Structure 1
Amino acid sequence: MAPVPVPATNRDPRSWDYAWKSFVAGGVAGCAAKSVVAPLDRVKILFQAHSPAYAHHQGSFFGVFRAVRDIHSSHGARGLFQGHSATLIRIFPYAAVKFMAYEQYKHLIFPVDRRPTPVQQLLAGSLAGVTSVFFTYPLEVVRVRLAFNVPVLSNLRNFYRGFTPTVYGMIPYAGVSFMGYERLKHQIHEISPDWSPSRVHLVAGGLAGAVSQTVSYPWEVIRRRMQVSGQFHADSYEAKVYKNSVETARYIWRRHGLRGFFIGLSIGYLKVTPMSMVSFWTYEACKQFLHIE
């Protein structure tokens, strides 16, 4: 039986059909990826902001797993997914907007008659990441504070605490992620043409995620410290309120040196590599399922 032809509008990024389907595909991909690494995400946040209850686990690779064990022992499986419902509420629109925006920026930036350059891919990815942040940042603040056991903010302005370093960090993170994925996908296919598309998407996505995490991680640490700042109680995590990202960076440098900007990076690799693998693989699978690939 001959395959059913895909309508041309489904492959035109300018069409509404392509836009909403890429939006759904991106949202599903983001939720699947975040669910896989939710326990590691919780531990990483606790390490980044120097939670006293888990500070003794920092500094070693196996400390991550010991922290997961302690959380599970004290709070059960639900403790490992604390704040995850807020994560899913945030991640669906975030990932949906990011992937949809990337498809649109690709159409605007990439040349029609030749392969796009790394700079063009980097620009499209960065713009897509920044666009998604503008729409979803308040939900990210709520998620972090729930995972960190501090009160949810009531002042609208405070919902954008740490917004500037988030944008700064998103530019290299999303840019390198998309650029790396696109470049690696083609290179892997050329080197190993017998690999299945799924295998190519998984490997390219994982490698791209690891590289982008390394480049953008210091900004993520600054953002976390700003998001949970201003809390003063018996087991306070961060009593100091930072005025801006520069002040936060100076404080981290004075207290912890260069290492302070990379605390929890090992968890970042454990988290971002599989998350990126699942995200890109799921997105490509959803595009095929929705007939826009």
Structure 2
Amino acid sequence: MSNVIVRDVTPNEGPEDLPSAQPSSSKPKSYTHLIAGGFGGMCGAIVTSPFDVVKTRLQSDLFQAQHQRSAPGAGGAVSSARSLLYNFVETGHILRSIYRDESPRALFKGLGPTLVGVIPAHSIKFYTYGNGKTIIAERFNDGRENSRVHLAAAAISGIATGTATNPIWVVKTRLQLAAERTSAAGGQRVLHGSWWTIKNIMREEGVRGFYKGLGASYLGVTEGTIQWVLYEQMKGFAQGQGGATEWLGMMGSAGGAKCVASLITYPHEVLRTRLRQPLVNGVVKYKGVVQTLKLIVAEEGARALYGGLSAHLMRVVPNAAVMFSIYEGVLRWAPY
């Protein structure tokens, strides 16, 4: 008869002392990343939508002249040698002018397609990244995560997200660059919606029109990789602090990582916006990434590659803090 060893658990012995205290099911389900990313992205987009409108207009040459003429101090020393501080002041002035001259609703132009794009985009991004880093670590790095694993997962996530959602961002950009028109009958202001914009793009440019700026979006994959790697590293310092301190640290990590990544890679945002602009008198001005880069520098100088940077930072930094904190919260408290 074989001996049977019975192991008693003493009152002082905690679960951590047992051989397999944490069940394998404690890891988030794959679909949890999908839900958490979509919900976080939606909340962040709604809160920061006005800054997104300002950023898009400052990136485009269609609105630059208009806003420069109306900006305080235009034509003087400030406009010729703008400081970063003045760019933030300019952002506030443009927000006020849009509210006054167009309508409060104009501050949320493109929010419909933004939400239509943000929810699947961030669902795809967080789903592919969250599950991708696990798969890559298990198959290629003995189950351990490190910066190389995070970088590879972020690159795959960025390419998948950009390819899937590019048509939505084209429609959003066109809506944000569309000025309100006054109808001939009754003098009422008219705002064209998403469906009209979709039909107009299809009629004038065909299916290819929905994929304008895709090359610049792929350049933007570098921003996502930098952001994810920095976030994972910075988050490590905040984890284990507990309570509000840990959450504030994670929010700061998300915002700080996004700020650094945006400053490094921002010109691709301007290139992408220019490539997605509508036709002007039936003419396509910007035709490719390299051609657009050369044309902007030749006509407007290298400074134009950072047009709208202040509005961009005012949008993406709090957006990232909100989005990542909600994402982490859903992962932590979701039932598995």
Same fold judged by TM-score > 0.5? yes
The answer to whether 1:135 aligns with 2:184 is no
CA distance in structure 1 between the aligned counterparts of 2:264 and 2:149, rounded to whole angstroms: 18
CA distance in structure 2 between the aligned counterparts of 1:144 and 1:23, rounded to whole angstroms: 25
Q: Deviations over 1:106-155 (max 9, x none)?
A: 11223666753323212211211111111111011111111111754111
The letter for the 2-side match of 1:55 is: Q
CA distance in structure 1 between the aligned counterparts of 2:155 and 2:54, rounded to whole angstroms: 27
CA distance in structure 2 between the aligned counterparts of 1:229 and 1:77, rounded to whole angstroms: 24
The letter for the 1-side match of 2:272 is: R
The answer to whether 1:34 aligns with 2:45 is yes
Sequence identity of aligned pairs in percent?
25
The answer to whether 1:218 aligns with 2:267 is yes
1:255 pairs with one of 283, 299, 302: 299
Deviates more, 1:45-54 or 1:87-96: 45-54
Query: What is the TM-score with the length of structure 1 in the denominator?
Result: 0.86
- Which residue is equivalent to 1:87? 114
Deviates more, 1:139-148 or 1:57-66: 57-66
Q: Deviations over 1:169-217 (max 9, x none)?
A: 1x21111111111100112447x67863321221101101101111221
The answer to whether 1:53 aligns with 2:102 is no
Q: Deviations over 1:204-263 (max 9, x none)?
A: 011011011112211111010010042239xxxxx6432211100000110122211111
The letter for the 2-side match of 1:11 is: K
Unaligned 5+ segments in structure 2 are 1-20, 72-78, 180-196
Question: Any idea what SS the aligned residue of 1:196 has?
Answer: helix
Listed as ranges, the matches of 1:16-31 within 5 Å are 18-31=29-42
- Which residue is equivalent to 2:319? 275
CA distance in structure 2 between the aligned counterparts of 1:10 and 1:114, rounded to whole angstroms: 16
CA distance in structure 2 between the aligned counterparts of 1:27 and 1:147, rounded to whole angstroms: 22
Unaligned 5+ segments in structure 1 are 13-17, 234-238
Given that 1:6 and 1:291 are in contact with CA atoms closer than 8 Å, whether structure 2 keeps it comes out as: no
Question: Any idea what SS the aligned residue of 1:62 has?
Answer: helix
Deviates more, 1:195-204 or 1:27-36: 195-204
The letter for the 2-side match of 1:27 is: G
1:230 pairs with one of 279, 284, 290: 279
CA distance in structure 2 between the aligned counterparts of 1:83 and 1:6, rounded to whole angstroms: 46
Following superposition, the deviation at residue 6 of structure 1 comes to 9.3
Listed as ranges, the matches of 1:64-83 within 5 Å are 64-83=91-110
Question: Any idea what SS the aligned residue of 2:109 has?
Answer: coil
1:148 pairs with one of 171, 177, 198: 177
CA distance in structure 1 between the aligned counterparts of 2:26 and 2:104, rounded to whole angstroms: 42
The answer to whether 1:287 aligns with 2:331 is yes
Listed as ranges, the matches of 1:78-117 within 5 Å are 78-110=105-137, 116-117=145-146
Given that 1:46 and 1:148 are in contact with CA atoms closer than 8 Å, whether structure 2 keeps it comes out as: yes
- Which residue is equivalent to 2:75? none
The letter for the 1-side match of 2:110 is: G
The answer to whether 1:182 aligns with 2:232 is yes
Assess, with a 3 A threshold, how the Cα gap between structure 1 residues 121 and 249 changes in structure 2: closer, same or farther. Answer: same
Query: What is the TM-score with the length of structure 2 in the denominator?
Result: 0.76
The letter for the 2-side match of 1:145 is: R
The letter for the 2-side match of 1:35 is: I
Equivalenced residues, count: 276
The letter for the 1-side match of 2:310 is: S
